[in-house]
Amino acid sequence: MRFHAQYVWLDGNIVKWEDAKIHVLTHALHYGTSIFEGIRAYWTGRNLLIFRLEDHVERMFKSAKILGAKIPYTADEVRRAVIETLRANDFREDVYIRPIAFVSTPTVTLDVRTLDVSLAVIAFPFGKYLPPQGIRAAVVSWRRVHNTMLPVMAKIGGIYVNSVLALVEARSKGFDEALLMDASGYIVEGSGENIFIARGGKLYTPPTHASILEGITRDTVIKLAADWGMTVQEKPITREEVYTADEVFLVGTAAEITPVVEVDGRPIGDGKPGPTTKKLAELYAKVVRGEVERYVKWVTPVYST
Ligand SMILES: Cc1ncc(COP(=O)(O)O)c(C=O)c1O
């Protein structure tokens, strides 16, 4: 995949992609002190719709609060920066949007509270992140970092080394994606996705206090499932519950709703995407394109038509 577009939003200016540069002593480059989001916008053929923009920007500010850094913009300014970036590039296809606030002062001081924070918004055309027909996952040896050690609820750059190590391990063994256990051995997340399992007609997902990112897609799925009377129970999930589940799927902005058809060489169910996963994925595809009246509130149109 090649990530490219014409323009980037950087500290209040639209600059050419090639000119969106920072200094090598940038604090975030050394210590992982960046706060970022991954957002998608979908091209409907008539307009570009950003999915749950408000919720993503809100999470950014929560992440900054947890880190102790101050984003020098209001939430409204960040939302407008995202829209401005998409308009500047005049996208007419599905895109991925990466707003990033990063501690930019060139210093080796660790106390970020008084340091400068820059904001950039990068967006580029983006298709499927994982194969939508189903993936083969492996439970990896790296454990999900516990939230008493790093705030996994926050989308902070440095925390992603945990995900990088997990995915490198899974991919180097020939799998598509990693499943991470927490320190107690419960399965908590994929490297960049939340996990759901279906067992005996019920859906389960780990609770938010279980060292997971409080995913926006996770929240979307819980609400969509509730609409057809299927409650999602938040509970710790064991490895053997995953192996013996009827269905397993991963959810995230990039992964959307991806069926897991095999874990550690064991087929999940009959080794094909299950009916609940398929139904949710189809509904999700409509919701993000503003086709479901009840959830039109979740999409922000980019162009005035
Ligand atoms: C570790 C991790 N878990 C879960 C998710 C899913 O979160 P969301 O649905 O908000 O994209 C992501 C992606 O952002 C992630 O990086």
List pLDDT tens digits, range 220-268. 999 999 998 898 999 999 999 999 999 999 999 999 999 999 999 999 9
- Tell me, what's the pLDDT at 173? 98
Q: How confident is the model at residue 114 (pLDDT cuts 50, 70, 90)?
A: very high
- Two tokens, residue 111: 């106390």
Nearest CA to ligand 1 atom 13: 192
Which residues have a catalytic role annotated?
A: 155
**Residues near ligand 1 (Cβ within 6 A):** 38, 163, 189, 192-194, 213, 215-218, 252-253
Name residue 180's beta-bridge partners.
189
Under 8 Å between Cβ of 118 and 11: yes
* 139-157 tens-digit pLDDT: 999 999 999 999 999 999 9
Nearest CA to ligand 1 atom 4: 193
Nearest-atom index, ligand 1, CA of 189: 3
Distance 193 CA to ligand 1 centre (A): 5
Average pLDDT estimate for 52-79 = 98
The conformation of residue 156, written as its DSSP 8-state character, comes to B
Is the pTM higher than 0.75? The answer reads yes
Average pLDDT estimate for 179-200 = 97
Mutate to test the pocket of ligand 1, among 213, 214, 258, 280 (most ligand atoms within 8 A of CB): 213
Domains and CATH numbers, the chain: 7-125 (3.30.470.10), 135-288 (3.20.10.10)
Of 15, 278, 255, 213, nearest to 122 by C-alpha is 15
Under 8 Å between Cβ of 250 and 260: yes
Distance 151 CA to ligand 1 centre (A): 14
- Tell me, what's the pLDDT at 1? 72
Nearest-atom index, ligand 1, CA of 37: 14
Mutate to test the pocket of ligand 1, among 193, 224, 280 (most ligand atoms within 8 A of CB): 193
Of 108, 102, 132, 173, nearest to 285 by C-alpha is 132
Average pLDDT estimate for 109-134 = 97
Distance 144 CA to ligand 1 centre (A): 13
- Tell me, what's the pLDDT at 115? 97
